[in-house]
Amino acid sequence: MNKRVIRLAISPCPNDTFMFDAIVNRRIDLGNFEFEVTYLDIEQLNAAALERRYDITKCSTALLPAIYDSYALLDSGSALGRGNGPLLVRRKGDTTPLKHIAVPGEHTTANALVRALFPDIEHRTPRLFSDIAKCVECGEYDGGVLIHEGRFVYQRSNLELVVDLGIEWEKRTGLPLPLGSIVAARDLGEEVISAFEALLRRSVEYAFANPGLSRDYIKQHAQELDDKVIDSHIALFVNDFSVSLGDEGRSAISRLTGVNNL
């Protein structure tokens, strides 16, 4: 039987590599699937999703309205939870009003949150997420939004927290914050999408059951190699919602995106 080759795109960040390890490294039965895996920064993933370049891809949850005709949201694999928000930071002791900040991409959930929660911040410039801390520290911007590993290590730099955007979201909505989602191209067909969704759920469950097996793979791709940072990253972004969104997870995504009938 010919294998079904799936073009898969995920980020190199520990939450994605942790969840997809069992698939990429064939620790579980892949059935009739083979995967061509590409690793991209979140904004590159968003741009690729807008062009329908990959069959299954990670994307910012805030992008869903723009791609929903082409991609279906999967029940597993999301980065969604409480206390997991992007961090808005500035240089220590700086009292300049935040008017121009760096964000990790135009289509990211982080940018959507700033736009919704702090409309007085007039200028938001997209930058590679791993460059934002140093750009703020050197004075290129009044502030910046940190995601991924950057949110755990910013205190090593001359930076201070302005606000945790996730906490602010939770205060206003009472819902967990949806950051990233896994979506599948609708033209794959319902049978293929359903089979992959079950496979991804098994991969996430396998990761939880065997947390140490993926560490070498994670470190091959991570920006920050410290084990404590990696552990904190995974603990914050991979949880029960990553196994299945459930009603609460879907409600949170609908609130963020305005997309119903997920």
> Active-site positions?
148
104's tokens: 């990790």
User: Left if phi > 0, otherwise alpha if psi is -120 to 50, otherwise beta: which for 177?
Assistant: beta
240's tokens: 């029960």
Residue 101 sits at φ, ψ, to 5 deg, of -125, 165
DSSP 257: H
Q: For residue 69, which of 88, 45, 49 has the smallest C-alpha distance?
A: 49
Which ranges constitute the DSSP H helices of the chain?
14-24, 42-50, 64-67, 109-117, 132-137, 150-153, 165-173, 190-209, 215-221, 227-237, 240-243, 246-257
